[in-house]
């Protein structure tokens, strides 16, 4: 009798989880749920002040690959505000925050003082390409080259950095966050105008 009750209680949730997992939809469903949480505003990035304890010099000595496979030095972005987001196509929180980052990019794509570096750490580059094409994101994305300098070798994704025009890391956020907010846009604009 207790076994029958246990199966009734857990059978449907386990079956749903198994279906999502084995069809590869689990990550997408998890991302959708996390995206809903982002819109509540509880995960907005704090923009009240620059993180003075972070204000380390950013190490531009790093090469990434653009979507054509060409090496790009981060030195290319020196003197600009850089929004760096480290992500992966298999990461549900990364997928959840991407639409907001895409909207943020649309607001700054013509600003010559702001650059977006969406850095995929997918080991299979084709996965990153498929994900970006499937979602039709317009921001530039880059692929890791097998090694990241110690500043970008983060323990988890997504992780986001903001680097000032003077080359200082002024924001770092580990985990999911909502960036397409008025306060974060004002924060980026203020840094771009310095």
Task: Count Cβ atoms below 10 Å from residue 78 Cβ, excluding itself.
Answer: 15
DSSP string, 18-38: HHHHHHT-HHHHHHHHHHHHH
Contacts 24+ apart (CB under 8 A), 11-17: none
Spatial separation of the C-alpha atoms in residues 176 and 36, rounded to whole Å: 12
pLDDT reported for residue 14 = 59
pLDDT for 119-178, tens place per residue?
999 999 999 999 999 999 999 999 999 878 888 888 889 999 999 999 999 999 999 999
pLDDT reported for residue 39 = 52
**Is the pLDDT assigned to residue 48 strictly greater than 90?**
no
Sorted by where each begins, the domain ranges of the chain are: 38-193
Region 16-39: mean pLDDT is 57
pLDDT reported for residue 22 = 62
Phi and psi based region of residue 73 (left: phi greater than 0; alpha: psi -120 to 50; beta: remaining) = beta
**Is the pLDDT assigned to residue 56 strictly greater than 90?**
no
More confident residue, 157 or 19: 157
**Is the pLDDT assigned to residue 35 strictly greater than 90?**
no
Q: Is the domain 38-193 a CATH 3.50.30.30 member?
A: no
**Is the pLDDT assigned to residue 20 strictly greater than 50?**
no
Spatial separation of the C-alpha atoms in residues 129 and 132, rounded to whole Å: 5
- The lowest-confidence range among 1-5, 6-10, 37-41 is 37-41
* Residue bearing tokens 């084995």: 22
Helices 92-108 and 26-38: angle between axes, nearest 10 degrees: 50
Region 107-117: mean pLDDT is 98
Please, which pLDDT band fits residue 8 given cuts at 50, 70 and 90? low
Please, which pLDDT band fits residue 69 given cuts at 50, 70 and 90? very high
Both tokens of 44, joined, read 């907005």
Spatial separation of the C-alpha atoms in residues 136 and 146, rounded to whole Å: 25
More confident residue, 5 or 65: 65
What is the pTM for the complete model shown?
Answer: 0.80
User: What does pLDDT average to over the chain?
Assistant: 84
Helices 182-193 and 92-108: angle between axes, nearest 10 degrees: 50
Three-state secondary structure string covering 159-181? EEEEECCCCEEEEEEECCCECCC
Report angle CA 186, 34, 95 to the nearest 5 degrees.
75
More confident residue, 5 or 96: 96
């Amino acid at each position: 009798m207790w076994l029958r009750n246990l199966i009734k209680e857990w059978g449907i949730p386990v079956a749903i989880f198994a279906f999502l997992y084995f069809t590869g939809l689990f990550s997408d469903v998890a991302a959708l749920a996390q995206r809903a949480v982002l819109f509540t505003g509880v995960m907005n990035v704090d923009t009240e002040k620059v993180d003075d304890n972070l204000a380390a010099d950013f190490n531009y000595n790093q090469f990434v690959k653009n979507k054509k496979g060409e090496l790009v030095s981060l030195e290319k972005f020196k003197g600009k505000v850089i929004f760096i987001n480290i992500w992966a196509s298999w990461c549900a929180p990364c997928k959840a925050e991407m639409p907001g980052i895409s909207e943020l990019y649309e607001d700054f794509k013509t600003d010559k003082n702001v650059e977006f570096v969406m850095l995929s750490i997918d080991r299979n580059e084709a996965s990153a390409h498929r994900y970006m094409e499937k979602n039709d994101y317009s921001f530039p994305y880059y692929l890791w080259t097998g090694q990241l300098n110690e500043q970008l070798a983060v323990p988890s994704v997504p992780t986001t950095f903001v680097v000032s025009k003077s080359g200082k890391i002024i924001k770092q956020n580990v985990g999911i966050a909502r960036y397409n907010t008025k306060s974060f846009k004002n924060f980026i604009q203020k840094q771009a105008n310095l």
